[in-house]
Amino acid sequence: MSTSAEQETPRTAPRSTRPPVGDFDAGVPSFEASGGDWADITESAVAAAALGEERIVVNMGPQHPSTHGVLRLMLEIDGETVTEARCGIGYLHTGIEKNMEYRTWTQGVTFCTRMDYLAPIFQETAYCLAVEKLLGITADVPERASVIRVLMMELNRVASHLVCLGTGGNEMGATTVMTIGFTAREEILRIFEAVTGLRMNNAYVRPGGVSTDVPPDLVEQVRSTLPTVRSYLSQLGDLMLANPIFKGRLVGVGHLSLAGCMALGVTGPVLRSTGLPYDVRKSDPYCGYETYDFDVPTADGADCYDRVVLRLEECYQSLKIVEQCLERLEASAGQPVMVGDRKIAWPAQLAVGSDGQGNSLDHIKEIMGTSMEALIHHFKLVTEGFRVPVGQAWQTIEHPRGEMGVHLVSDGGTRPYRAHFRDPSFNNLQAVAAMCEGGQVADVVVAVASLDPVLGGVDR
């Protein structure tokens, strides 16, 4: 943060001479943090005569480690009290939504998986569910593919919450919380790597199903990993929930009521910390979530501490769903994981081998040596993509940070006419001012951590 300042010109001066950081409250004289010796400024005769009170505007970020990425917070402070807080976003803008208009429907998965890089499976699934609505094949997606999607999403939910808890603890000085959280996350990322070949940005969920079946020993691998993850979650609970220092920093901090959440469109653990059990998996089920047994935990404190408790409890509920998925995977062994229509199922016949992931050798041998028609079809499907009927679709899912929505528009071609994502981090960041103003500067870090924003999803 900057600590030096220079005197602002009178408020009657032309706008061009005023501080670029913000016209916060008209009529209130202010200092802008930009340079100079503070003693020289405050001792000047002009400052003594013109300023009736002192106001400082400082930047937290975009390089600040407590801003969960390249987020800029513009804080107006009076001593240690935050009198106004504003978010500055756009530093991580990648043009993902626009780029998707220039790629095939299947290639769009490789873009949206990179938005919220801590929860890639959720963007992939939401996008593919919307594409399947447009294609009219929602009921044709194999059950085993839906089970795999649920398994991957719930493991991803736990991994995402572990990063939230770990980084939040580290920002308050509890380094052990971070090391335990990230160590537990590694256990889950190993499973992702075994299934998809990648730890992050997996591009595993595809329109019509998933790109390849899970390895034969995955069920046993996950079952052996779950006790380890539960042990780490228990350690995190012991370190945080009864810790008087931890509670002193979080209890009563960053309060946001149910009315505030409803007005700002805030969802996820922040909304459920107000006592409202809203979860898309229950209110508008997808991927067969209505057939799974799990609870939606809530709290009524509406503060940062309750959001930590809820995320821990949601991890346990996700592991409960994972166990049910493993039983269904065992019962559906050998069943397909992609729709039967080969005009949609791309890439087809994938296999994971010693040299990585690609088309199986048998499939390559067939299309290259015995069937010219299969080779032509493969070439056109990969290069041009499949066509999607004219129309638009809206799909929501329960993301680790709240409700995620996908709006897709098709003009009948092989590429989206329009793709737009309602990312929960973007909406939740609106609550920064309501949660931080009137509190201490140190509480800003805690409040932002409780929102758990990921700026890749915010900026897109």
3-state DSSP assignment of residue 205: strand
* Distance (Å, whole) CA 157 – CA 397: 12
* Distance (Å, whole) CA 400 – CA 451: 11
> Which strands sit side by side in the sheet containing 391-399, from one edge to the other?
391-399, 402-410, 418-422
* Distance (Å, whole) CA 425 – CA 402: 8
Contact 204, 152 (CB under 8 A): yes
* Distance (Å, whole) CA 329 – CA 335: 9
CA atoms within 13 A on the CB side of 133: 19
Q: The whole model's pTM is what?
A: 0.83
* The pLDDT of residue 401: 93
* Distance (Å, whole) CA 337 – CA 340: 9
Q: Which helix (H) or strand (E) holds 176?
A: helix 175-196
Count of C-beta atoms within a 10 Å radius of residue 221: 14
* Distance (Å, whole) CA 311 – CA 307: 6
Break the chain into its structural domains and give their ranges: 6-88, 96-341+385-422+441-459, 347-384
* Distance (Å, whole) CA 324 – CA 209: 19
Tokens describing residue 412: 């009948």
* The pLDDT of residue 379: 79
DSSP H stretches of helix in 218-354: 218-240, 244-250, 258-264, 269-272, 280-283, 304-331
* Distance (Å, whole) CA 294 – CA 21: 47
Kindly give the parts of the chain with pLDDT less than 50: 1-25, 31, 33, 45, 48-49, 52
The CA-atom distances, in angstroms, between 353 and each of 146, 335, 361, 368, 414 are: 24, 20, 10, 19, 30
Domain 96-341+385-422+441-459, second-level architecture: Orthogonal Bundle (1.10)
* Distance (Å, whole) CA 208 – CA 339: 5
* The pLDDT of residue 254: 86
* The pLDDT of residue 333: 86
Residue 403, φ and ψ in degrees, nearest 5: -85, 120
* pLDDT tens digit sequence for 114-147: 988 899 999 999 999 999 999 999 998 999 999 9
* Distance (Å, whole) CA 258 – CA 270: 9
Instruction: Tell me the one-letter amino acid at 253.
Output: V
Contact 90, 459 (CB under 8 A): yes
* The pLDDT of residue 297: 92
> Which strands sit side by side in the sheet containing 72-78, from one edge to the other?
6-7, 31-32, 56-60, 72-78, 81-88
Contact 340, 213 (CB under 8 A): no
